Structure 1
Amino acid sequence: MTGTRFVYTRSDDPRAQPLVDELSREYDERYGLNDGIPSSAELSRYPAERFAPETGGAFLLVERDGEVVAGGAFKRENESTVEIKRVWTSSAHRRQGLARVVMAELEREAAARGYTTVELTTGARQPEAVALYLSLGYRPLYDTAGDLEAIGYLPFTKRLPELDD
């Protein structure tokens, strides 16, 4: 993608704020209140440090011609596993394959750091995310024929390919 670049930064970087704001609105619209708490509260569940390199994490922004158009992150779960979080594409830039670009870059970065497994979850009201993860080879850890609303959080896992030295 011409004019596209990856920027590794912190989740509290002001450049990320428009994406985080839009993601917050989307969570609240899709899921509403959860025990009286807006669903977007999930986005402040982890401190910025969990996505920082010094704790084994990464926070990625994708810029195109100087504008942040997508992003995502991972946090270290253990010595071999990361959890991908907050994959997002700006609503003005959807349907261009940017989520795939984010996922590929996060997987590449995780593998380069020696991680071998990726975990992630999505919600039952995000069918486009479910379809994306399945198309990228993620294995669902739930009954795909079950009542997704009753299941709630939909966990996935994927083994990363080993990088050649």
Structure 2
Amino acid sequence: MSTTVEVGADRLDGPVAEPLVHELTHEYVSRYGPGGHEEMARHPPEEFAPPGGLLLLLLERGEPVAGGAYRRHGDPGTAEVKRMWTHSAHRRRGLARRVLAELERAATAEGYRRILLTTGSRQPEARQLYLAAGYTPLFDLDAPPGALHPLPFVQHLTDRRPAAAEPREAPEP
């Protein structure tokens, strides 16, 4: 039996987001050593709260199974996606792709025109997700794996408007 996955929101330091923060910190530390703790502490939770920021969670039976956040980055038209996470028991279900799409939709609704994001060289699955989602790499794709850290990407949200949003000519009678 399949369950419904709902979209919710919380603060990064909120109780619903706690599993995300805990497991993501563990993931960063296991891949990057003590620098993982530094990365998680780099930005205060307020940066991912409205206005300007957002933490979205995908909830299954009220429990977070995936999530991600954005914060304002530099100019008012640019958001930065951070804290992308899928619970280890729920991977390979397309949840990260859905989180990214939900973040793009929310950022567009808030007036952002561009998303920046960075992943680490020891996260090949994240690199593949962003490439598959149409993000433009701002690094040499031909560099040897692990040679580059971090791996920045950009997505122009205005380029991703659905065709249905564009004016159409009325059909001929």
TM-score by length of 2: 0.87
SS in 2 for 1:150: coil
Cα drift, residue 148 of structure 1:
4.2
2:171 corresponding residue in structure 1: none
> Which residue of the other structure, out of 64, 76, 79, is the alignment partner of 1:79?
76
Map residues 27-106 of structure 1 onto 2, 5 A cutoff. 27-33=28-34, 38-54=35-51, 56-77=52-73, 78-106=75-103
Is the CA contact (8 Å cut-off) linking 2:137 and 2:153 kept in structure 1? yes
Identity %: 51
SS in 1 for 2:111: coil
Aligned-residue CA RMSD (Å): 1.6
Give the total of aligned pairs: 160
Q: Which letter does structure 2 place at the counterpart of 1:32?
A: G
Cα drift, residue 162 of structure 1:
4.1
SS in 1 for 2:93: coil
Looking at structure 1, the residues matched to 80 and 98 of structure 2 have their Cα atoms a distance apart, in angstroms, of: 17
Looking at structure 2, the residues matched to 47 and 60 of structure 1 have their Cα atoms a distance apart, in angstroms, of: 16
1:144 is aligned to 2:141 = yes
TM-score by length of 1: 0.91
Looking at structure 1, the residues matched to 145 and 124 of structure 2 have their Cα atoms a distance apart, in angstroms, of: 10
Looking at structure 2, the residues matched to 134 and 118 of structure 1 have their Cα atoms a distance apart, in angstroms, of: 14
Which is higher, the Rg of structure 1 or of structure 2? 2
Structure showing the higher strand proportion among its residues: 1
Is the CA contact (8 Å cut-off) linking 1:16 and 1:68 kept in structure 2? yes
Cα drift, residue 57 of structure 1:
0.5
What runs of 5+ residues in structure 1 fail to find an aligned partner? none
